[in-house]
Amino acid sequence: MALNPPMNPVSPRPRIRAVNLGGWLVTEGWILRSLFDGIPNKDLLDGTQLQFKSVTQNAYVAAEQGGGTALIANWASASGWATFKLWRIDQTTFNFKVFGNQFVGVRSTGVVVATVTTPGTSETLKLVRNDNNQNRMRLRAPNGLFLQANKDGSLTADFGESEWVAEWKVSDAMKEDYQRFANAQMDVYQQATFGWAYWTYKNVNNHWSMEWMIKNGYISLTNA
């Protein structure tokens, strides 16, 4: 018995071999982490999402309604409206995009808003990290001043580098923080018309007590 092939045989399909070139064609940290080791602030690349909590007010910064108006700093918990996506310009300069795709900016009055969809100079902010605790950050506005959360829940860019506000509410401060607090007080009050002064000689929280700081070598009055 002979077997005859079918009249219209199906041509055999060729074998296909492939390789995933993702690690070569796409630059993402999860593919090859070592490529990012030398990048300053490598955890703050494009698309990184951040949430900011005020140390003094113990509240999150948020774009109410997702954007289109002034930012506020009175949210007890974080959400999508309190999440900001980074557009990285360089290692310390960023645009911050809110939930509604507007960018955080600073008006001439110092009010912080999220109203424009195309960032410009007013929407370009500097992010300053604490050397001893990288999770603690400050934002410097184009006017040279820092963003500050106020008691009424507003957010303004009108804070310089002089005294701290509600300083003993900082629960995880470093030695550098206490020294800067002391130096700021001495610098400010030394210029006052009534002469040199310090906030308090004793405080129930020792690190903010002038007596404690002197005894433990945090500050020296030699040149005061």
Q: pLDDT tier at 224 (50, 70, 90 boundaries)?
A: very low
Q: Which residues belong to CATH 2.80.10.50 in the chain? A: 26-161
pLDDT of amino acid 171: 53
Give the tokens for residue 146: 């820092």
0.95 exceeded by the pTM? no
Instruction: Assess contact for 127 and 44: CB atoms under 8 A.
Output: yes
Cα radius of gyration rounded to whole Å, the chain: 27
DSSP 138-155: EEE-TTSPEEEE-TTSBE
Instruction: Assess contact for 95 and 111: CB atoms under 8 A.
Output: no
Nearest Cα neighbor of 56 from 206, 170, 199, 189 is 170
Q: To the nearest 10°, report the CA torsion of 73, 79, 81, 84.
A: 90
- Fold (CATH) for 26-161: Trefoil (Acidic Fibroblast Growth Factor, subunit A) (2.80.10)
Angle at 91 between CA 88 and CA 93, to 5 degrees: 60
Instruction: Assess contact for 207 and 177: CB atoms under 8 A.
Output: no
> With 50 as the cut, is the pLDDT of residue 48 above it?
yes
> With 70 as the cut, is the pLDDT of residue 76 above it?
yes
Give the tokens for residue 221: 């009055």
Give the tokens for residue 201: 């000689």
Provide the 10 A C-beta neighbour count for residue 91. 12
- Average confidence (pLDDT) over 198-224: 66
pLDDT of amino acid 162: 40
pLDDT of amino acid 167: 40
Per residue in 100-114, pLDDT tens?
A: 999 999 999 999 999
Instruction: Report phi then psi at 22, rounded to 5.
Output: -55, -40
> With 50 as the cut, is the pLDDT of residue 50 above it?
yes
Provide the 10 A C-beta neighbour count for residue 22. 11
- Average confidence (pLDDT) over 122-146: 88
CA atoms within 13 A on the CB side of 74: 10
Q: To the nearest 10°, report the CA torsion of 53, 55, 59, 62.
A: -40
